[in-house]
């Protein structure tokens, strides 16, 4: 085998191993939370433990990569729903998709506040998600489907809020979150209501475990 062929084979093996690791880690974290060991992930992926650390030097690097996958799925859904004719229904469908992903993945809510959320790529993806959901929300506001003081960041935060409300029920009733989504979305609908008592968040900010939050993007 020539040197070029060897290099191509090595790159292909590296891509395959990364894909196997992400799949194994995603499944393990979703089932058991973030305390699963890197050794267990290597076993599930069928690779050596050293291979894990070559791709992901720390568990938080691995969690960041998985978080990016989930954020990319949310972004793809939000982008697709921007083309829907019924903006109110599109916004609710986005929320249902997002909460459904959280309900199926124990790990994602466990990583809130971990250093993995301070990765530049993750923070940039969260910003893009907030911007896209703001576009979804603006369309719903313009069509009179939701109240005029609701923002995209409100909606993103409500994904976690609805999921956390249903969390104690999910082992026995995995679709229980649908009830609480309906309650929450009913509060978003445009009706004669008093103004909300607190200004909307300007930007979603994730808290660093050190106690220092990254600066909000303006």
Find, among 110, 32, 12, the residue nearest to 70 by Cα. 110
Residues whose CB falls within 8 Å of the CB of residue 144, separated by 6 or more in sequence, listed in order = 190
Residue 24: is it exposed, middle or buried by C-beta count within 10 angstroms (0-12/13-18/19+)? buried
Greatest mean pLDDT among 13-22, 69-78, 186-195 lies in 69-78
User: What is the model's pLDDT at position 119?
Assistant: 79
The predicted-structure confidence for 130-154, as pLDDT tens digits, reads as follows 999 999 999 999 999 999 999 999 9
Per-residue pLDDT of 163-210, as tens digits, reads: 989 988 988 998 999 999 999 999 999 887 778 888 877 766 654 444
In sign, the C-alpha dihedral spanning 171, 42, 71, 34 is positive
* Mean model confidence pLDDT for the chain: 84
What radius of gyration, in Å, describes the C-alpha atoms of the chain?
Answer: 20
Look up residue 194 and give its two tokens.
């008093």
Instruction: Report residue 199 CA to chain centroid gap.
Output: 24
The Cα–Cα gap between 13 and 15 comes to: 5
Which is more confidently placed, 116 or 214? 116
Residue 80 has a CB neighbour count (10 Å cut-off) of 13
Residues 103/177, Cβ–Cβ less than 8 Å = yes
Q: How far apart are CA 33 and CA 48, in angstroms?
A: 22
Kindly provide the b/e burial profile for residues 39-64, where b requires at least 16 CB atoms within 10 angstroms of the residue's own CB.
eebbebbebeeebbeebbeebbebbb
Residues in the chain: 218
Answer yes or no: is pLDDT of 4 > 90: no
């Amino acid at each position: 085998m020539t040197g070029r062929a060897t290099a191509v084979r090595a790159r292909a093996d590296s891509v395959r191993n990364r894909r196997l690791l992400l799949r194994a880690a995603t499944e393990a974290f979703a089932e058991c939370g973030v305390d699963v060991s890197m050794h267990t992930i290597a076993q599930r992926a069928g690779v050596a433990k050293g291979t894990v650390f070559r791709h992901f030097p720390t568990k938080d690097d691995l969690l960041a990569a998985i978080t990016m996958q989930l954020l990319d799925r949310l972004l793809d859904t939000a982008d697709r729903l921007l083309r829907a004719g019924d903006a109110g229904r599109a916004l609710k469908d986005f929320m249902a998709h997002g909460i459904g992903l959280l309900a199926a993945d124990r790990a994602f809510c466990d990583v809130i506040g971990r250093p993995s959320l301070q990765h530049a790529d993750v923070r940039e993806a969260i910003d893009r998600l907030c911007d896209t959901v703001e576009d979804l929300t603006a369309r719903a506001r313009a069509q009179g489907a939701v109240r005029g003081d609701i923002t995209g960041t409100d909606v993103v935060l409500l994904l976690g809020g609805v999921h956390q409300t249903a969390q104690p029920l999910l082992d026995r009733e995995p679709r229980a979150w649908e009830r609480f989504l309906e309650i929450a979305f009913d509060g978003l609908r445009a009706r004669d209501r008093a103004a909300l008592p607190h200004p909307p968040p300007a930007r979603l900010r994730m808290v660093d475990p050190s106690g220092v939050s990254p600066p909000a993007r303006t």
